[in-house]
């Protein structure tokens, strides 16, 4: 972390505090079933609306950030996200989907903007590590957040949304008073200015995005299928919170170290291996679902997550043309949370038919994504990796 600029370290601290209080999105499927009295299928459908908002926010955030500035965009998203969290407990169930969509969209804007803000300011060789640190501090906060949320859920789910709003406001303060104003950098001649033109020059990145959607659908079973399975086994809400904390603790302990050790490895091979581990993790649950088996599966899925998520995030920045870091992070961000739309209704429908079938389908998605990415490595023309303007000036 010593090579990172001082403001990046402060931003990492802000992300930690924000993650510590950001627990609403983890408990939305369980909140809809336990507090609002919905079935798993109905809860999955409404939670998918929140995922649609996340995708919309991810897609819009990068364009807004590239045009108006990454820093002010992140500040506005933090403020609006706090307001959205405060509205959820007071919203009637009939109109809850609208509020959840807006809440997801506001949260989605912040993700690509914050990653673009950091990765675009660093040389290529430091991007994977910086991305891993950003994810690690986020998960360090989440280690404590879900268990606390599980305890609060026993008494009143509304407290979860209030704490989430306060965390967003704290992040707003960090962005306004610590992150510097970045000057715009002139684009070199011949640089694509339209996103579609850039993507036509880089079909391999398009294929990567498609496989990430499939893998993320499998990965997001952790936030819908896992709590429903644990609830069916008679486990209390805090067990699910502890399960998410296990995921976060493993990331905090090992992801920055892995990113450093594997920084010279080909990115797509690491991404495909991560996809494969996600698929294997859920296949393990299918024969005999149980609390211990689910915990073991989460550990395997987490190993896959540690390989593919920071690598793919940094890879998106490496491939971004000058002036498009926000938009490329938006595309990757939308793909990397695409499963929030597909996984809840898919898992809910399959769960009502057969929990074992649900786990098999989740596993097949991850394994298929790994196979497609690995076995098409030489069949699609690879677009050139790009360097940031800062690197070219050095």
Can you spell out the DSSP letters for 276-290? HHHHHHHHHHTTS--
pLDDT of res. 383: 45
Q: What's the pTM value of the predicted model, to 2 decimals?
A: 0.69
Helix (H, G, I), strand (E, B) or coil at 263: coil
d(CA 369, CA 385): 23
Going 223 to 229 to 230 to 232, the CA torsion angle's sign is positive
Half-sphere exposure of 383 (CA within 13 A, CB side): 21
Interatomic CA distance for residues 16 and 137, integer angstroms: 5
Residue 90: is it exposed, middle or buried by C-beta count within 10 angstroms (0-12/13-18/19+)? exposed
Q: Is the dihedral of CA 198, 322, 128, 221 positive or negative?
A: negative
Q: Compute the distance between CA of residue 186 and CA of residue 30 in angstroms, rounded to an integer.
A: 48
The residues, ordered by sequence, that sit 6+ positions from 386 with a Cβ below 8 Å of its Cβ are 318, 319, 320, 321, 322
Give the model's pLDDT for residue 276.
Answer: 96
- Residue 380 is classified by DSSP as S
- Asked if residue 243 lies in contact with residue 288, where contact means CB atoms within 8 angstroms, the answer is no
Q: Which of 31, 18, 290, 343 is nearest to 158 (CA)?
A: 31
> How confident is the model over 348-363, as pLDDT tens digits?
899 888 888 999 999 9
**Residues of the chain with confidence (pLDDT) below 70:** 1-3, 22-26, 142-157, 182-193, 377-394
Angle at 159 between CA 292 and CA 179, to 5 degrees: 95
Angle between helix 96-119 and 325-336 (nearest 10)? 130
Q: Tell me which CATH code domain 6-181+195-393 carries.
A: 1.20.1250.20
Find out whether 217 and 343 touch, Cβ atoms under 8 Å.
yes
Structure tokens at 67: 């045009």
Torsion of the alpha carbons at 93, 98, 99 and 100, rounded to the nearest 10: 90
DSSP string across 198-220: HHHT-HHHHHHHHHHHHHHHHHG
Give the span between the Cα atoms of 120 and 393, in whole angstroms.
13
The answer to whether the CB of 304 falls within 8 A of the CB of 277 is yes
Question: Which residues make Cβ contacts (< 8 Å) with residue 51, sequence separation at least 6?
Answer: 104, 337, 338, 339, 340, 341, 342, 343, 344
């Amino acid at each position: 972390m010593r090579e990172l600029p001082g403001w990046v370290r402060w931003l990492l601290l802000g992300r930690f505090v924000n993650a510590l209080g950001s627990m609403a999105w983890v408990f939305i499927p369980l909140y809809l079933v336990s507090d609002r009295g919905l079935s798993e299928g109905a809860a999955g459908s409404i939670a998918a609306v929140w995922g649609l908002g996340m995708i919309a926010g991810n897609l819009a955030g990068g364009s807004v950030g590239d045009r108006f500035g990454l820093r002010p965009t992140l500040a506005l998203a933090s403020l609006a996200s706090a307001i959205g969290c405060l509205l959820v407990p007071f919203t009637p169930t009939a109109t809850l989907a609208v509020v959840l969509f807006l809440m997801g969209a506001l949260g989605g804007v912040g993700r690509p903007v914050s990653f673009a803000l950091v990765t675009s300011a660093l040389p290529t060789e430091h991007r994977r590590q910086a991305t891993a640190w950003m994810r690690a501090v986020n998960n360090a906060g989440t280690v404590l957040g879900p268990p606390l949320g599980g305890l609060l859920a026993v008494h009143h789910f509304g407290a979860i949304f209030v704490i989430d709003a306060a965390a967003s406001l704290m992040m707003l303060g960090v962005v306004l008073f610590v992150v510097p104003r970045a000057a715009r950098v002139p684009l070199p001649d011949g640089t694509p200015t339209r996103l579609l033109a850039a993507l036509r020059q880089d079909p391999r990145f398009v294929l990567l995005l498609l496989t990430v959607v499939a893998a993320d659908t499998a990965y997001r079973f952790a936030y819908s299928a896992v709590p429903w399975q644990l609830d069916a086994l008679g486990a209390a809400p805090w067990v699910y919170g502890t399960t998410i904390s296990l995921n976060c603790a493993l990331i905090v302990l090992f992801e920055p170290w892995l990113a450093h050790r594997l920084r010279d490895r080909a990115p797509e091979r690491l991404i495909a291996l991560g996809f494969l581990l996600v698929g294997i993790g859920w296949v393990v649950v299918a024969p005999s679902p149980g609390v211990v088996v689910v915990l073991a599966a989460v550990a395997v899925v987490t190993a896959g997550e540690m390989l593919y998520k920071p690598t793919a995030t940094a890879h998106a920045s490496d491939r971004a043309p000058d002036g498009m870091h926000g938009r490329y992070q938006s595309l990757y961000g939308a793909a990397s949370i695409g499963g929030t739309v597909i996984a809840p209704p898919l898992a809910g429908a399959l769960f009502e038919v057969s929990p074992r079938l649900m786990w098999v389908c989740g596993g097949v998605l991850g394994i298929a994504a790994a196979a497609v990415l690995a076995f098409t490595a030489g069949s699609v023309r690879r677009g050139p990796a790009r360097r940031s303007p800062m690197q070219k000036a050095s």
